[in-house]
Chain A
């Protein structure tokens, strides 16, 4: 029973991080119909920048802020420079471009900061059951999710962003700057990705530190359904808990296979994820 509680709490903490990554993927998918495979690399560079800033200033929180800001800038730049030119081509083009960016950024991280692992601190004390660091992870992801929902639901900017994502033509006619809104969507998503990176990286930072986390993040997004932010949160927690139980009771080597199993089971029941509303079929 004790182990069950431990695994549950642990699963919730990890699940919050997967949910954040899934949320960042879904914001981008909703805005531009692109699955951003470069997300782990963008987050990785943000975390490396946080590492450098923390080293120079001695403050973890300055580094944290630097990560979020650099995430914002990189997300916006990626959309402007790389995604805009392939917009409207086959979905494969955008996937390839983000994969290319993933390779470039991971390679650059290895070149600049070396492939050797650096020790990277937790934001708060991490010892014991549901430590301060765990509370911080769950709370900050929860806060980020609430902020995103508030942004989309209650602010004029959010309204324009939703309009640009769902009905670009109609939005353009009503005077919304659709291109700017798509860039804003990428920027918001990359900030959340950078947050997830900061939470997932400790104790060690190296160029492939976020790969596994990203795979669970994309699994969570696909399980939840790429069209629904609530699905991302639910999918993240589901994957987090599922992997935690499998890792605790069956062995940590099986976690990735467990993610695959969850994915296959969910998708064979609902091929477009748990939370996607049924739409009209073409055939």
Chain B
């Protein structure tokens, strides 16, 4: 995984080429097709996740799984905001769609395998993405932000409007099969679940990384930087924006499905505006324009809550203070990052790397 971080930075590759002479491993790595590189990096990351979860307990496995689906959602948002420049404040809505699709599939078609459920979820949330993306493709900046915010607020209302199908305010709960019997004793149920979520996430990341490295990604960045210039040079602006929206919606839906699979529930109260805003916040915190930013963001999203409540318990604060501490810390960090270090954690890591190489 570390090697894939380096290959993204041309300066690092150059430095190594000079240092080691012609046929360095880094050069051979760069000579591979992008898809192969991304698949190898994903395989390494998956092995790392399975290694970590083999020594941790169910509680930590759940958190590792949570980092996985948040990573997926934030990475999808990165493609939309960081690469194509469209602001969405409503990505929780696509997670809502994904989670309910998964819950309904498990409850009504229990014989379907997990991977098929995931594929159906992708299809459903991509259709939703086409509808929303086509409706909002002409909107800019604050108009798009307002429209997507309303989407995030409005959509969960469907669950309470049709309680027979969606279970009303309590949502839907279900249970999934854990690890297959053949693997009983080797992997625990929680490790199996975290592994399934991460496998989904990593496969989706391979797609995202390959898309963003290719022609479509270049077009998106061109539109982000100057829409008029992109249109003049023959890029189909509207279509590219809608495609970005659809891919991003698919990632959001898949993340929602992973969440539902991990927690065994889908409730309207998990998909509030705060969720949509936290996803954006995580993206900012991690840093724009790189999928690594999404990773740092997802990590903070999960562990800020954990550390915030630990801190509150450690200092013996009252319940009101303790419950609100994570959100206050989160908002404060968001403001500070924006004022002091707009590049986010990814920018900080890159800066640190450059500093080390200069030594």
- Complexed CA–CA distance, A101 and B335 (Å): 7
Interface residue ranges of B92-141 to A (CB < 8 Å): 135-136, 138-141
- Tell me if A253 is interfacial: C-beta within 8 Å of chain B: yes
Q: State whether A267 and B231 are in contact (beta carbons under 8 Å apart), knowing that A85-B339, A215-B153 are contacts in the complex.
A: no
Q: Given A91, A111, A212, which contacts B321 in the complex, CB threshold below 8 Å?
A: A111
What is the number of residues of chain B that contact chain A, defined by CB distance less than 8 Å? 49
Q: State whether A103 and B331 are in contact (beta carbons under 8 Å apart), knowing that A96-B284, A251-B161, A253-B161 are contacts in the complex.
A: yes
Q: Given B138, B160, B330, which contacts A271 in the complex, CB threshold below 8 Å?
A: B138
Q: State whether A95 and B154 are in contact (beta carbons under 8 Å apart), knowing that A107-B324, A111-B320, A264-B135 are contacts in the complex.
A: no
Question: Chain B's nearest CB lies how many Å from the CB of A206?
Answer: 12
Interface residue ranges of B322-356 to A (CB < 8 Å): 323-325, 327-328, 330-335, 338-339, 342
List the B side residues contacting A277 at CB < 8 Å.
Answer: none
B331 touching A100, Cβ below 8 Å:
yes
What is the number of residues of chain A that contact chain B, defined by CB distance less than 8 Å? 51
A256 touching B142, Cβ below 8 Å:
no
- Tell me if B73 is interfacial: C-beta within 8 Å of chain A: no
- Tell me if B147 is interfacial: C-beta within 8 Å of chain A: yes
A256 touching B143, Cβ below 8 Å:
no
Q: Given A114, A219, A271, which contacts B320 in the complex, CB threshold below 8 Å?
A: A114
List the A side residues contacting B333 at CB < 8 Å.
Answer: 100
- Tell me if A147 is interfacial: C-beta within 8 Å of chain B: no
List the A side residues contacting B155 at CB < 8 Å.
Answer: 257, 260
List the A side residues contacting B342 at CB < 8 Å.
Answer: 89, 93
Question: Chain A's nearest CB lies how many Å from the CB of B102?
Answer: 22
Q: State whether A100 and B146 are in contact (beta carbons under 8 Å apart), knowing that A92-B87, A111-B328 are contacts in the complex.
A: no
A107 touching B157, Cβ below 8 Å:
no
Chain A binding surface, main DSSP class? helix
Q: State whether A107 and B331 are in contact (beta carbons under 8 Å apart), knowing that A96-B281, A253-B157 are contacts in the complex.
A: yes
Q: Given B87, B143, B154, B339, which contacts A267 in the complex, CB threshold below 8 Å?
A: B143
Q: State whether A111 and B157 are in contact (beta carbons under 8 Å apart), knowing that A103-B277, A103-B331, A222-B147 are contacts in the complex.
A: no
Q: State whether A102 and B81 are in contact (beta carbons under 8 Å apart), knowing that A91-B141, A111-B321 are contacts in the complex.
A: no
Q: State whether A100 and B334 are in contact (beta carbons under 8 Å apart), knowing that A106-B327, A221-B146, A254-B161 are contacts in the complex.
A: yes
- Tell me if B232 is interfacial: C-beta within 8 Å of chain A: yes
B157 touching A256, Cβ below 8 Å:
yes
- Tell me if B262 is interfacial: C-beta within 8 Å of chain A: no
Mark contacts of A260-283 with chain B using CB atoms, 8 A cut-off: 1 yes-contact digit, 0 otherwise.
100110011001110000000011
- Tell me if A259 is interfacial: C-beta within 8 Å of chain B: yes
Question: Chain A's nearest CB lies how many Å from the CB of B181?
Answer: 43
B143 touching A222, Cβ below 8 Å:
yes
- Tell me if B149 is interfacial: C-beta within 8 Å of chain A: yes
List the A side residues contacting B42 at CB < 8 Å.
Answer: none
- Tell me if A171 is interfacial: C-beta within 8 Å of chain B: no
- Complexed CA–CA distance, A215 and B93 (Å): 15
- Tell me if A179 is interfacial: C-beta within 8 Å of chain B: no
A222 touching B146, Cβ below 8 Å:
yes
A100 touching B332, Cβ below 8 Å:
yes
Q: Given A86, A108, A259, A271, which contacts B139 in the complex, CB threshold below 8 Å?
A: A271
- Tell me if A218 is interfacial: C-beta within 8 Å of chain B: yes
Mark contacts of A229-271 with chain B using CB atoms, 8 A cut-off: 1 yes-contact digit, 0 otherwise.
0000000000000000000000101111101100110011001
Question: Chain B's nearest CB lies how many Å from the CB of A21?
Answer: 12
Interface residue ranges of A198-234 to B (CB < 8 Å): 211-212, 215, 218-219, 221-222, 226
Question: Chain B's nearest CB lies how many Å from the CB of A5?
Answer: 26
B153 touching A91, Cβ below 8 Å:
no
Q: State whether A260 and B151 are in contact (beta carbons under 8 Å apart), knowing that A107-B331, A110-B324 are contacts in the complex.
A: yes
- Complexed CA–CA distance, A110 and B323 (Å): 8
Closest to B134 in A: A268
Q: State whether A110 and B277 are in contact (beta carbons under 8 Å apart), knowing that A104-B332, A259-B154 are contacts in the complex.
A: no
List the B side residues contacting A263 at CB < 8 Å.
Answer: 146-147, 150
List the A side residues contacting B232 at CB < 8 Å.
Answer: 283
Interface residue ranges of A93-124 to B (CB < 8 Å): 93, 95-97, 99-108, 110-111, 114-115
- Complexed CA–CA distance, A160 and B150 (Å): 35
- Tell me if A35 is interfacial: C-beta within 8 Å of chain B: yes
- Complexed CA–CA distance, A35 and B145 (Å): 9
A257 touching B157, Cβ below 8 Å:
yes
List the B side residues contacting A260 at CB < 8 Å.
Answer: 147, 150-151, 154-155
- Tell me if B158 is interfacial: C-beta within 8 Å of chain A: yes
- Tell me if A51 is interfacial: C-beta within 8 Å of chain B: no
- Complexed CA–CA distance, A35 and B109 (Å): 45
- Tell me if A65 is interfacial: C-beta within 8 Å of chain B: no
Q: Given A107, A219, A283, which contacts B327 in the complex, CB threshold below 8 Å?
A: A107
Q: Which of A218, A260, A264 has the most CB of B within 10 A?
A: A260
A268 touching B328, Cβ below 8 Å:
no
- Tell me if B208 is interfacial: C-beta within 8 Å of chain A: no
- Complexed CA–CA distance, A95 and B328 (Å): 17
- Complexed CA–CA distance, A271 and B338 (Å): 29
- Complexed CA–CA distance, A263 and B274 (Å): 21
Interface residue ranges, A against B (CB under 8 Å): 29, 35, 82, 85-86, 89, 91-93, 95-97, 99-108, 110-111, 114-115, 211-212, 215, 218-219, 221-222, 226, 251, 253-257, 259-260, 263-264, 267-268, 271-273, 282-283
Q: 6 nearest interchain CB pairs?
A: A103-B331, A100-B334, A107-B328, A104-B331, A256-B154, A100-B335
Could you list some 9 contacts between A and B, CB below 8 A? A93-B342, A95-B87, A99-B334, A104-B332, A106-B324, A107-B327, A110-B320, A226-B142, A263-B150
* Known A222-B142, A256-B157, A260-B147; further 5 A-B contacts with Cβ < 8 A: A93-B342, A96-B334, A97-B335, A103-B328, A271-B139
